[in-house]
A = this chain, B = another copy of it.
């Protein structure tokens, strides 16, 4: 690309800026200040570097998560907020143990790239494999043919769904419920195709949940390449055997904490505007996008308010939730405490879709069309690439507040690359672009400033 062409753009922009400068509204001035502060002095990326370097694999019950709790409290304290505190939460404690192994049995065993699913029971089995594309297929095949075998769920995410989020949801039953349901048919283990559009040899973990009162079987995810390899092996030999060894262990629930920091509201200190993400990550993942990005963006929102000397009318609270990945105990504990308190949560926005270029917000409300009410701000947001405000789901950690009358939301950044690295060893700092991360923090701070000053 040639810069002279871009110079024309720049000149146009300069003229436009000059003209607008004469008639900028206070709202426009404030958003410009927030974005400039975030882009020039933003600390989110360096905070993320520290978090994922010191505390990769922040799974509930791990020492790494507890280091992250201490880091979160210290980082919020350094902002000289009005209050920083911990909220006690008991979290589930599951450990992977020694590295799992999945292999095609034969004259020369062929290893298949795999990771145990979070929550899997341990086990060491060798058996024939039945490949299926859905849980419903198990009904058709029947217990007699399934009992004693390994069930292999191999339905890919639908590539024609434009946003990979719904495609993930559409294939997620195989990982989330598949092993438990296969166990009710007498299967001895379950394998599932990794939930990703990426075609490579990196396996993706995630939570699985057994059927209460039913048998539990070892469960692992195969990389998409390994899934294709196993499928081809089964096509060549339907009696091929696979060996699955998982060394996981469940422990008693462990003490942990939500980490909370806040700037007290000048007019309505008991009315809360919340921004948050989740501090935990999967054990194998650095958790840079999921959800280290959301954590450092949430902290950055408070830093931006402090740096710009903005005194919110309502209390602005940042919550680093624990245990989103395998229990959501942090969210449950937070909502429960909120219900019993004298505080009223007006608005809660979550950032847990990765630190990519932000484009909008999805908003949930029990009081009518919140997206339409927020649409009056689209003109303000358009220069910053926020063009998509819609009614819809909000994040897992803030949604429990909805039934208390809170308007809940989640930031919706670019979605295509998230599930390439989601729940894997590849969810690392180098996948995060500092400017995209800081644009997200600025978008969150801008939205909260607008809600604080004008209501939603």
Q: Using a CB–CB distance below 8 Å, which chain A residues touch chain B?
A: 1-10, 12-13, 35-36, 39-40, 159-162, 164-170, 172-173, 175-176, 195, 197, 206-207, 290-291, 324-325, 328, 352-353, 357, 359, 383-385, 387-388, 392-393, 395-396, 399, 414, 416-417, 420, 422, 433, 435-436, 439
Contacts and interface: CB of A to CB of B under 8 A. Distances in A.
Given A388-B387, A414-B414, A5 B433 contact: no
A298 B167 CA distance: 27
Given A4-B172, A5-B169, A417 B396 contact: no
B7 A162 contact: no
A166 B5 CA distance: 9
A288 to B, nearest CB: 14
B172 A3 contact: yes
B392 A39 contact: no
Contacts of A164: 435
Contacts of A352: 1
Given A1-B352, A6-B165, A416 B439 contact: yes
| Chain copies in complex | 2
A324 B8 CA distance: 17
23 contacts: A1-B290, A1-B324, A1-B352, A1-B396, A2-B176, A2-B324, A4-B172, A4-B176, A5-B399, A6-B165, A6-B169, A6-B170, A7-B170, A9-B392, A9-B393, A39-B159, A162-B383, A197-B435, A416-B435, A416-B436, A417-B433, A417-B436, A420-B433
A169 B8 contact: yes
A34 B385 CA distance: 26
A222 B269 CA distance: 52
A9 B291 CA distance: 20
Given A3-B173, A3-B176, A35 B162 contact: yes
A166 B13 contact: yes
Contacts of A165: 6, 9
Contact of A3 (B36, B160, B206, B384): B206
Contact of A169 (B3, B384, B385): B3
